[in-house]
Structure 1
Amino acid sequence: MPRICVIFDLDGTLVDSEGLCNQAFIDLIPPLTETVDSLTKRYRGKKLAQILADLEERYCLDLPDEFVVRYRQRVAELFSRELKPIPGVLDMLERTDFPKCIASSGPLLKIHQALQVSGLASYFNNNIFSSYEINSWKPEPDLFLFAAKAMGFMPRQCVVVEDSEIGIEAAKAAEMKSLYYVPNANVRPWGNGDTVMFGDMLQLPQLLAAMNANGLPRNR
């Protein structure tokens, strides 16, 4: 009987979308001089309103009211052509036999499109939760607590899989254990408190199985 519920972030954790989301800023805001990589590093895990406010301040912009609609449309176009799952995610999900859901800061329409395009929708069914449903964004714990309650688990029974420091902060605030995905990190999984860092999605099933059986792995 599973003792844990796995709560996945979406962007940058299950789907390789961070670069596409930031490419949309470059496409729509000509004054931007930064690269996709630099924008991704700066804005990973942050809510759209915070990102736009930061761009306006740093580039002395006054973005029009309809910018968010245009931005969402551009992201949808890029997703439809280029979105892929994170390497190893499909195999990982096939081998992850625990109750699982998605808790994302993005709107539901974006989440559903990402899952359909990437071929991941069937793994989650209707177990999808958005910050826009509850008007609360990471690093606040509300989204993870909302997801846990909907899935029928206590916070201490949940494991959050995230790729951003903001998401890890939200997991800690929710008093949940977390697995911090740092892509291409050439390290063995290691733990610090209630967080374990790992660099390959194919490592995840073993980590989850160990947590389900014995609790969170610690540093050795």
Structure 2
Amino acid sequence: MSETWPAPQCLIFDLDGTLVDSESLCNQAFLDLLPGLQDSVAVLTERYRGQKLASILVDLAARLEAPLSADFELRYRSRVAELFETQLKPMPGASMLLQNLPLPFCIASGGPLPKIRQALEVSGLAPYVGETRVFSSYSVGAWKPDPGLFLHAAAAMGFEPAACVVVEDSAVGVQAAQAAGMQALWLTQDSAAAQTSVTPIHRLSQVMAWLGH
């Protein structure tokens, strides 16, 4: 833990790919609805991790060289909800971590609130989070790497940005944390993350160790 930072007082968690294992399901939905896509789930996950859906849809249309249908986002949201209902799991260690965190925490996700709520319910994490500690980009009009969502979450929780620690799995999320003036723990298997100014972790259980518990 860097001595240049104050002691952490609040944790802000990303949701998709950080607390719930949803990235592959979200990208599987693209493959289910767009048979012209030739990529694997793994390739799509790497390409779109943490990205705003509107930007992803623009990229998909460009790659397919054809506009997406007017109702594509609606159909996509519906397919993701179906996959979540039957297949979504919490990330390893997520339940144990949220049960035992010694600090206040919240969730700040780029997804819409109905998606966030479903993910928390299906994964079994909802009882640890409650109703008031969930923040969505759609509510504040700011998507990562813009720091607006994290700044909003910190203010709503009652903490200064420098006192908050963001736990993220995406590069754009880490960039948003840095732009917000917050510490970041990057949940990643990419060894290149060790060369950045953030702290890489490889599993959620390391959060407690990092906090000194």
Q: Given the alignment of the two structures, is residue 151 of structure 1 paired with residue 164 of structure 2, yes or no?
A: no
Q: Equivalent residue for 1:205?
A: 208
The letter for the 2-side match of 1:69 is: L
After TM superposition, the structure 1 = structure 2 runs for residues 10-89 of structure 1, keeping only pairs within 5 Å, are 10-89=15-94
User: 3-state DSSP class of the match of 1:161?
Assistant: strand
Q: Given the alignment of the two structures, is residue 118 of structure 1 paired with residue 123 of structure 2, yes or no?
A: yes
User: 3-state DSSP class of the match of 2:151?
Assistant: helix
Q: Given the alignment of the two structures, is residue 165 of structure 1 paired with residue 171 of structure 2, yes or no?
A: yes
Name the CA shift for 1:88/1:154 in 2 (closer, same or farther; >3 Å). same
The letter for the 1-side match of 2:138 is: Y
Q: Equivalent residue for 2:3?
A: none
User: How many angstroms apart in 1 are the aligned matches of 2:209 and 2:126?
Assistant: 23
Runs of 4+ in 1 over 3 A off after TM superposition: 189-193
Q: How many residues align?
A: 206
User: How many angstroms apart in 1 are the aligned matches of 2:195 and 2:101?
Assistant: 20
User: How many angstroms apart in 2 are the aligned matches of 1:164 and 1:132?
Assistant: 18
User: 3-state DSSP class of the match of 1:170?
Assistant: helix
Q: Deviations over 1:69-100 (max 9, x none)?
A: 10000000000000000111112222212100
Q: Given the alignment of the two structures, is residue 196 of structure 1 paired with residue 202 of structure 2, yes or no?
A: no
Q: CA offset at residue 152 of structure 1?
A: 0.2
Give aligned-pair identity as a percent: 52
User: How many angstroms apart in 2 are the aligned matches of 1:3 and 1:167?
Assistant: 18
Asked if the contact 2:106–2:129 (Cα under 8 Å) also holds between the matched residues in 1, the reply is: yes
Asked if the contact 2:8–2:165 (Cα under 8 Å) also holds between the matched residues in 1, the reply is: no
Asked if the contact 1:186–1:199 (Cα under 8 Å) also holds between the matched residues in 2, the reply is: no
Q: Deviations over 1:156-197 (max 9, x none)?
A: 0000000000000000000100000014x689x96853x100
The letter for the 2-side match of 1:177 is: Q
User: How many angstroms apart in 2 are the aligned matches of 1:84 and 1:107?
Assistant: 19
Name the CA shift for 1:3/1:203 in 2 (closer, same or farther; >3 Å). closer
The unaligned stretches of length 5 or more in structure 1 are: 211-220
User: How many angstroms apart in 1 are the aligned matches of 2:58 and 2:183?
Assistant: 31
Name the CA shift for 1:55/1:192 in 2 (closer, same or farther; >3 Å). closer
User: How many angstroms apart in 1 are the aligned matches of 2:8 and 2:142?
Assistant: 27
Q: Given the alignment of the two structures, is residue 128 of structure 1 paired with residue 134 of structure 2, yes or no?
A: yes
User: 3-state DSSP class of the match of 1:178?
Assistant: strand
User: How many angstroms apart in 1 are the aligned matches of 2:185 and 2:134?
Assistant: 19
Asked if the contact 1:9–1:163 (Cα under 8 Å) also holds between the matched residues in 2, the reply is: yes
Q: CA offset at residue 58 of structure 1?
A: 1.0
User: 3-state DSSP class of the match of 2:212?
Assistant: helix
Higher relative contact order (Cα pairs below 8 Å, separated by 6+ residues): 2
Q: Equivalent residue for 1:217?
A: none
The letter for the 2-side match of 1:53 is: V
User: How many angstroms apart in 2 are the aligned matches of 1:11 and 1:80?
Assistant: 15
Q: Given the alignment of the two structures, is residue 95 of structure 1 paired with residue 100 of structure 2, yes or no?
A: yes
Q: CA offset at residue 209 of structure 1?
A: 3.4
The farther-off stretch of 89-98 and 100-109 is 89-98
